[in-house]
Amino acid sequence: MKRIEDLWREAGVASPLSLQGCPVKLGQKNRVHILALGDVGTTMLMGLRLLGGEAISTIGILDLSRENMLRLEQEINQISWPFGQKALPEVCPISDGELFDCDVFVFCASKGVPALGASGDVRMAQLSANTQLIRRYGALAAEAGFKGLAAVVSDPVDPLCRAFLDSSQLAAWQVQGYGLGVMNARALYYSKRDPRFARYAEEGRAFGPHGADLVIADSIRDYDDVLSRELTELTVSANMRVRELGYKPYIAPALSSAAISILLTLQGEWHYSSLYLGDGETGAFLGMKNRMTETGLQYEDILLCEPLYRRIRCAYRNLCEMER
């Protein structure tokens, strides 16, 4: 039996970058700024407005289109409880110079989103263009001396986290990737529709990237490799099922991976996101169950049976190679 920490030890990492540091105000209201309001960013914004009253004070939005920002300022702020029963965070357009004047910076920008009908791993198709894009904003974060949390939502989440970490000069505990939440949600979806996977809701876990090397474990108590791999395949290909219907699958990721998971981070509650495991040279961002504490990031430290550990190790090693 092994643990998550054995991943970086086997990779030859003697002194991993510390995850001890808290870039947000836990239990208080944080200022959130969102870069790019396409389908994902707009849907996430709706979720943050509706659910974020206790954790967010204001939401700043920045988009290439000024008309889109003005439209969203009006539309989203017109989402309201009829008699003020619950306070909702105010949405306001911001300028380029204000982008990193916040507690949480959310990167939703993307280039080259695959068209409907695209085959293969459509998440990875955006790697090259989005890496160049996020590095530019990482450099701006460095110039601004950003002290908060950088939340990466754009695909492919985990390699983009590494690109932002390298270019921004931030600490490892300041960067998290938000792509695994929807994979857990999709696994839950299928677990409710096939009794063979039913125990996932209580005993299952998700690990790894938001993509082909995803690891879904049907149970961490009594792991079944065959069932887990079948559930993993259903989960990984769930986005293609939506594409086959003629739609881009952005609603569930924007809410499950981004809005809900970011809010759980700010509340110090368990959620799924990617953390950096490595020393800066060797290492990768890997998705897992974790939470933010006053002293830093804490991931679920559980014993892993050998078949499950091997799957997670394979995903980690592949990410390490990709993020070099």
pLDDT bracket for residue 272 (50, 70, 90): very high
Rounded to the nearest integer, the mean pLDDT of the chain is: 95
List, for residues 303-312, the tens digit of each pLDDT value.
999 999 999 9
The highest-level CATH class for domain 5-14+27-182+243-322 is: alpha beta
What is the C-alpha R_g of the chain? 19
Residue 117 pLDDT > 70:
no
Residue 43 pLDDT > 90:
yes
For the chain, how many residues are written?
Answer: 324
Report percent pLDDT > 90 for the chain.
92
Where in the chain does DSSP place strands (E)? 30-35, 56-62, 90-93, 104-107, 149-152, 175-177, 205-207, 215-217, 271-278, 283-293, 296-299
> What pLDDT is attached to residue 212?
87
pLDDT bracket for residue 116 (50, 70, 90): low
Residue 175 pLDDT > 70:
yes
Q: What is the mean pLDDT of residues 111-130?
A: 64
pLDDT bracket for residue 72 (50, 70, 90): very high
Q: What is the mean pLDDT of residues 137-158?
A: 98
> What pLDDT is attached to residue 210?
87
Q: What is the mean pLDDT of residues 78-90?
A: 96
pTM assigned to the model:
0.96
Q: How far apart are CA 61 and CA 153, in angstroms?
A: 15
Residue 199's nearest CA partner among 229, 226, 230, 221 is 221
List, for residues 252-264, the tens digit of each pLDDT value.
999 999 999 999 9
pLDDT bracket for residue 134 (50, 70, 90): very high
Cβ atoms < 10 Å from Cβ of 308: 24
List, for residues 207-245, the tens digit of each pLDDT value.
999 888 999 999 999 999 999 999 999 999 999 999 999
